[in-house]
């Protein structure tokens, strides 16, 4: 029984995120950032040229980076390190597609608040336990590794009252990955249709958001945003398990929309209660759930 001394030696490996920041997440290539410093337009233009997914554009002489397209290859940082660089932050999910573009000048506008309030109202009944149906709609498999990692002892998504289910009829959240291959669009739509209301859709990964490197061919769409009403966008190629956790918490209303690095959940008490206790029945004031067709 070698695992007993090993377990005693290593102690508890399960992350405390989001109750506490987790240094484990700092070791990843979380996201690409645009520094305020400039290194000359020609280098920014060169970075835009070498970007394989056209994630970089130049507007009014300023670089703009679309995280919904960025596959984190690092080419821009190689040719223009004064402007582009990696940041370990993984809390980059957003409830608006536009918010993935940095710098985002409209982060606090009325539209964000409207989306946040609407999503919060819709998911009010989901906070005690949440079931996820994951559908791979043409991924390269990278996202699937990260989604599967959510259930391992380090991330242990079940501690937050979040579970995976094989049946879309039992699911609250649809986590969709992949570019949207022609053969998977109908099964994906059918999965969404039979899920009971309220339901939330997460587009996980750049492929699902914009098609990434390979979307847009004769057999695939450029992401899933035209096929599904996406509520939360999780950038990354693939997003890390912490990035996915951030997106899931955002989707069920346990994080403020547009939460940035280091922000803790707004309703931490509700989360702690969920983490400590087994999922219980919904309270009488929660709206009844509607069965899918």
Binding site for ligand SF4 (CB under 6 A): 32, 51-53, 55-56, 65, 70-76, 84
Smallest distance, Å, CB 69 to ligand SF4?
A: 7
What is the dihedral sign for C-alpha 280, 203, 91, 99?
Answer: negative
Smallest distance, Å, CB 166 to ligand SF4?
A: 34
3-state DSSP assignment of residue 89: coil
* Closest residue by Cα to residue 54 from 44, 39, 69, 40: 69
Smallest distance, Å, CB 269 to ligand SF4?
A: 38
Closest to ligand SF4 by CB, 73 vs 282, is 73
Q: Which residues pair with 101 in a beta bridge?
A: 66
DSSP characters for 26-38?
GGS--EEEE-S--
Tokens of 104: 């985002």
Alpha carbon 246 to chain centroid, angstroms: 6
Closest to ligand SF4 by CB, 67 vs 246, is 67
How far from 17 is each of 115, 246, 263, CA to CA, in Å?
Answer: 25, 9, 11
Closest to ligand SF4 by CB, 53 vs 89, is 53
- The most distant pair of C-alpha atoms in the chain lies apart, rounded to whole Å, by 65
Given a contact cutoff of 8 angstroms between Cβ atoms, the answer to whether 130 and 163 are in contact is yes
Smallest distance, Å, CB 54 to ligand SF4?
A: 8
Closest to ligand SF4 by CB, 83 vs 200, is 83
Closest to ligand SF4 by CB, 161 vs 235, is 235
DSSP type of residue 290: B
Closest to ligand SF4 by CB, 46 vs 125, is 46
Smallest distance, Å, CB 51 to ligand SF4?
A: 3
| Length in residues, the chain | 293
Smallest distance, Å, CB 29 to ligand SF4?
A: 9
């Amino acid at each position: 029984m070698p695992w007993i001394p090993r377990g005693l030696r290593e102690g508890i490996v399960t992350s405390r995120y989001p109750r506490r920041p987790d240094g484990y997440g700092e070791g990843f290539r979380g996201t690409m950032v645009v520094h305020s410093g400039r290194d000359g337009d020609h280098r920014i233009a060169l970075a835009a040229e070498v970007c394989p997914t056209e994630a970089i554009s130049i507007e009014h002489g300023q670089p703009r980076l679309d995280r919904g397209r960025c596959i984190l290859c690092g080419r821009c940082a190689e040719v223009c390190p004064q402007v582009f660089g990696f940041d370990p932050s993984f809390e980059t999910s957003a409830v608006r597609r536009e918010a993935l573009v940095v710098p985002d000048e409209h982060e606090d506008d009325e539209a964000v608040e409207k989306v946040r309030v609407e999503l919060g109202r819709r998911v009010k009944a989901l906070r005690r336990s949440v079931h996820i149906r994951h559908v791979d709609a043409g991924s390269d498999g990278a996202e699937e590794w990260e989604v599967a990692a959510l259930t391992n002892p380090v991330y242990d998504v079940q501690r937050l009252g979040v579970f995976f289910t094989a049946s879309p009829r039992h699911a609250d959240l649809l986590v969709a990955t992949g570019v949207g291959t022609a053969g998977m669009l109908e099964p994906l739509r059918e999965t969404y249709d039979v899920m009971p209301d309220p339901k939330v859709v997460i587009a996980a990964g750049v492929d699902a958001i914009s098609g990434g490197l390979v979307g847009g061919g004769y057999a695939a769409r450029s992401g899933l945003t035209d096929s599904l009403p996406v509520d939360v966008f999780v950038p990354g190629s693939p997003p890390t398990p912490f990035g996915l956790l951030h997106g899931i918490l955002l989707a069920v209303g346990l994080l403020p929309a547009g939460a940035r690095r280091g922000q803790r959940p707004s309703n931490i008490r509700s989360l702690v209660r969920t983490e400590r206790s087994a999922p219980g029945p919904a309270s009488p004031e929660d709206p009844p759930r509607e069965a899918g067709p």
